[in-house]
Amino acid sequence: MLMPNKLLDSSIASSMVARPKRTRVKSRRNKEELENQRMIHITAERNRRKQMNEYLSVLHSLMPESYVQRVDQASIVGGAINFVKELEQRLQFLGAKKESVEGKSDAITSIPFSDFFTFPQYSTSASCSENSLAMNEQVNEVKCSIADIEVTMMETHANLKIRSKKRPKQLLKIISSLHGMHFTILHLNVHTSGEIVLYCLSVKVEDDCNLRSVDEIAAAVYQTVNRIQEEAMLNN
C-alpha cells in the first residue's frame, strides 16, 4: 500500500526539480535578446553618426573656405547658414537687376534694393516701418534714418545691410569703423544703382566687442553712416 505514495512523492519531487531549469533557460534567452537589442542600437547609432559626418563633409566642400574657419559641426552649420544668406542676397540683387532691365517698377521697388530689407532697425521709408510691424508684432519700432540699416545675428556672427546714397570714401570709413568696434569682416558685397549703394557685410563679433545685440550694432552703424553723411555735407 505504500508504493503509490512513494511514486507520487517521486513525481512531485521530479516536477519541482525541473522548474528551475526552465526558468534559467528563459532568463538566458532574455539576456540574449537584450544584448541583441543593445548591439542593434549601437550599430544604428554608429551608422547615423557616419551618415551625419558624411553630410557635414559634403556641406563643408560646397562652401568657400572663408565661411568655415574650423571643421567642427557647429562651425560647419553656422557657416552654411551665412553662406545661404549671402546666396539669398545675390538672388535678390539679380532679381532687382532683372526688373530694372525689363523696365518694371512699382511702389515697393521704386527705391533700389528694397527687397533686401525685411525688418530693418533704421529705415528711410515710413511705410517700411508699418509693414514690418504688421508682419511681426515683436519687432521694435523702426527708426527714421538717412540710411536703411538691418542687422541680423546668430551667436558670434552678424549680417549687416546698409543702403544709402553714395559718398566719397564711404565704404572705407565704414570698414574702418567696424574694425574699431572689434568686428572682423568675413565677406563684403557692394551693389550700386544710380546714386544708391547697398553694402552687405558678414562679420564676426570678437570677444572684446561691447556690442552684443542687433539693436546695439545697428545703432553704432547708424552713427557711423550719419557721421559720414554730415562730413560729406560740410565738404560740399
Higher pLDDT, 79 or 181: 181
Phi/psi for 133 (5° steps) reads -70, -35
Rounded mean pLDDT of 29-53? 84
Percent of the chain with pLDDT over 90: 23
- Could you give the CA distance from residue 189 to residue 91 in angstroms, rounded to a whole number? 13
With cut-offs at 50, 70 and 90, classify the pLDDT of residue 151. very high
Do the beta carbons of residue 206 and residue 184 sit within 8 Å?
yes
Tell me which amino acid residue 182 is. Answer: H
Residues 6+ positions from 71 with CB-CB distance below 8 Å: 60
- Could you give the CA distance from residue 83 to residue 61 in angstroms, rounded to a whole number? 12
For 187, the 3-state DSSP assignment is: strand
- Residue 40 Cα to chain centre, angstroms: 34
- Residue 206 Cα to chain centre, angstroms: 18
> How many residues are there in the chain?
236
CA angle (169, 173, 177) in 5-degree steps: 175
With cut-offs at 50, 70 and 90, classify the pLDDT of residue 197. very high
What is the phi-psi region of residue 169: left when phi exceeds 0, alpha when psi lies from -120 to 50, beta otherwise? left
pLDDT for the residue 107: 47
C-alpha distances (whole Å) from 38 to each of 25, 28, 33, 52 are 20, 15, 9, 21
pLDDT above 90: residue 222: yes
Percent of the chain with pLDDT over 70: 74
Q: Which grid coordinates belong to 204? A: 564676426
- Could you give the CA distance from residue 150 to residue 122 in angstroms, rounded to a whole number? 7
- Could you give the CA distance from residue 127 to residue 100 in angstroms, rounded to a whole number? 22
Domains belonging to the chain, first-starting first, are 107-235 (3.30.70.260)
The H or E element containing residue 96 is helix 73-102
pLDDT in tens, 51-85: 888 888 888 887 877 777 777 888 888 888 888 88
pTM confidence score: 0.55
pLDDT above 70: residue 110: no
